Amino acid sequence: MSAMRTVRLGDVAELQAGVGFPLTLQGRSTGDYPFAKVGDISDAGRAGKITLSAATHFIDEGDLNKLRAKPIPPGATLFAKIGEAIRQNHRVRAGCPILIDNNAMAAIPGPNLDGQFLFRYLQSVDFYRLTSSTTVPALRKSELQQLPIPFPPLSEQKRIADILDKADALRTQRRATLARLDELTQSIFLNMFGDPVINPKGWPRWTFDQTIRDETAKSEKLQKSDYLPTGAHPVIDQGQSVVAGYCDDDKFLCKSELPLVVFGDHTRVVKLVKSPFVVGADGAKVLVPQHQVGATYLSFLLEHLPIPDLGYSRHMKEVKRLAFPIPPLALQEEFAARVSHADRHRVKLERALAICDGLFASLQHRAFSGTL
């Protein structure tokens, strides 16, 4: 097949920016329209969902005039347009008429552009590379309108989208199995120890200093600009990805005793680390369990304790106010052994998912270069 002709995105799709979402309208769990923030889009993308039909907040028909907004139609592709969320490159399709906040944008397909083809194509574009070189990364509507998009006949668009949908379904199945494995380990934790907020088993409650040593200052952090795509040592920071990058310089290796927990001061992300690594900047806190506290137990405990969401503010002050229920070390070690058993299955599943991801990327390349 010959290479596809391309057109400008703005010629075949409408780009609609989101609107400001006043605090006075936030907090409703039902209404006529979901009002999605970037977090709703990111959460759906991380979960492997391709449609978004609900959100944390809702508004009613009567609120549209106040917002001076019109709902985005079903089938539009939604994505972040400002901030670090762009780097995550999540895309979802609107599953119903929906509003989005002013940190997001929608690509609405025109009459000759299949919505699923558009979605699949935009999935293949690294939007972070298109961001403006300012302190806060951002996508400009005018530049996105110039983005070239392959534009075969509508019937061919539908054929390509259908092939990619079927290939992506295999990835979705693998992710669902991984999610069920996560649910299993969470269930084991609650069965063995009870909800740590209620502490129904009456474990003694320890203070932060009795439970954790904050050894963040012990190791030199690697700046994001110095992360490598491959290398000798994994870089672990406060981001959602388990490994954020790599480093070849031994001087940056974490000097704390393993295993330990990395906690995201801004993100509240919790990561159990068992092998040598480099601490990535900024906001990554290195938390070492005290005597009689296991690192695996501590990582699950931090996931379950009530740490309020302060947005991008720092959260360690909230962690230091917590009371930590501490069961006998032998019970913690039994739990860690069960988690390790589940982790061995996880490694196999993640390898299978990586193979699926590679095959999907190959199909994407062929699909949008006219060789599928």
Mean pLDDT for back-to-back runs of 10 residues, the chain (372 residues): 80 96 92 94 88 94 92 97 88 97 96 96 93 81 95 95 93 89 95 97 98 97 94 94 94 97 95 97 95 98 93 90 98 97 92 91 91 84
**What is the model's pLDDT at position 119?**
97
Query: Do 135 and 108 contact (CB within 8 A), yes or no?
Result: no
Q: How far from 84 is each of 100, 198, 213, 282, CA to CA, in Å?
A: 17, 35, 30, 13
Q: Is 234 part of a structural domain of the chain?
A: yes
Q: Is the pTM of this model over 0.75?
A: no
Cβ–Cβ < 8 Å for 81, 41: no
Residue 169 lies in a domain: no
Tell me, yes or no, whether 117 and 56 share the same domain. Answer: yes
pLDDT of residue 46: 83
Which of 113, 131, 151 is the C-terminal boundary of a domain? Answer: 151
- Which of 131, 151, 171 lies at the terminal end of a domain, its last residue? 151
My answer on whether 208 and 127 are in the same domain is: no
According to DSSP, the residues that pair with 263 across neighbouring strands are 270, 285
pLDDT at position 152:
95
Distance CA 212, CA 351 (A): 33
Q: Please name the residue ranges forming H helices in the chain.
A: 9-12, 38-46, 63-67, 85-88, 115-123, 141-144, 154-193, 208-211, 295-304, 316-319, 329-369
106 in the same domain as 208 = no
Structural domains of the chain, count: 2
Whole-angstrom distance, CA of residue 300 vs CA of residue 342: 14
Q: Are residues 35 and 139 in the same domain?
A: yes
**Residue 212 shares a structural domain with residue 80:** no
Please tell me the predicted confidence (pLDDT) of residue 3: 60
Answer yes or no: is 32 within a domain.
yes
Clarify whether residues 147 and 32 are in a common domain: yes
For the stretch 272-291, what's the b/e string if a residue is b when 16 or more beta carbons lie within 10 angstroms of its beta carbon?
bbeeebbbbbebbbbbbbee
In a domain, 367, yes or no: no
- For the chain, give the number of residues: 372
Question: Using an 8 Å Cβ cutoff, are 327 and 199 in contact?
Answer: no
Q: Do residues 122 and 32 share a domain?
A: yes
First to last CA, the chain: 8
Q: Which stretches of 216-304 are DSSP H helices?
A: 295-304
Look at residues 151, 167, 196 and tell me which one is the last residue of a structural domain. Answer: 151
pLDDT at 312 (0 to 100): 74
Quick one: the chain helix, strand, coil %, rounded to 5?
Answer: 40, 20, 40
**Host domain of residue 80:** 6-151
353 within some domain: no
> Taking the alpha carbons of 86, 178, 302, 282 in that order, is the dihedral positive or negative?
negative
